[in-house]
Amino acid sequence: MTDNSPYKSLVSKAHMHTHSSISMQTLYKIFKYAVYVSLTLNIFLFFQEESLATQQTFSQGIGVDDIIQGFAATIDTAAWVFLLIIFELTTSIFSTHTLSKSRIKLLFFVVRIFCYGFILYSFYASISPSAKRRASGFEARWHHFRPAKRPRRGGID
């Protein structure tokens, strides 16, 4: 004898919904951590690109004060990723008991301050006059890689 009661149907649907939501949570976590890995990879790609650019821009050698200007995008991106990781740790990973410990609070505070400082300093480095001079010099050396301008139709330039 089969039991086709509405209760059994409801329990079966609830079980399917729970199973479905667990797999959606798993998919969400996979996606979220894939984004984190992609952002971290982006740091290394920025570093590779800026390393090649600084070899050309600072052909005489790079000084300590020029590092922030030569690697502004790498440092800026790394600081943002660190802030994102701290956000992930404080909202999803660590318990409130762990986060209430003074050492953890101090550690996260110090890391946040450094990250904000690097972000602001990278912004300054990207808008400073010396960065603009270097960029224009870099463009002048690499002008042959730009596509040629097409003449306008009608013969008027």
- Asked, for residue 66, whether it belongs to a domain, the answer is yes
- Asked, for residue 142, whether it belongs to a domain, the answer is no
Domain count, the chain: 1
Q: Tokens representing 32?
A: 């979220």
Q: Which of 21-30, 82-91, 128-137 has the lowest mean pLDDT?
A: 128-137
- Asked, for residue 95, whether it belongs to a domain, the answer is yes
- Asked, for residue 75, whether it belongs to a domain, the answer is yes
pLDDT of residue 152: 59
- Asked, for residue 16, whether it belongs to a domain, the answer is yes
- Asked, for residue 140, whether it belongs to a domain, the answer is no
Residue 79 near residue 51 (C-beta atoms within 8 A) = no
Domain containing residue 66: 7-131
What is the arithmetic mean of pLDDT over 56-83?
Answer: 86
- Asked, for residue 12, whether it belongs to a domain, the answer is yes
pLDDT tens, position by position, 80-122:
999 999 999 999 999 999 999 999 999 999 999 999 999 998 8
- Asked, for residue 88, whether it belongs to a domain, the answer is yes
DSSP notation for 83-137: HHHHHHIIIIIS-HHHHTSHHHHHHHHHHHHHHHHHHHHHHHHHHSHHHHHHHHH
- Name the pTM for this structure: 0.65
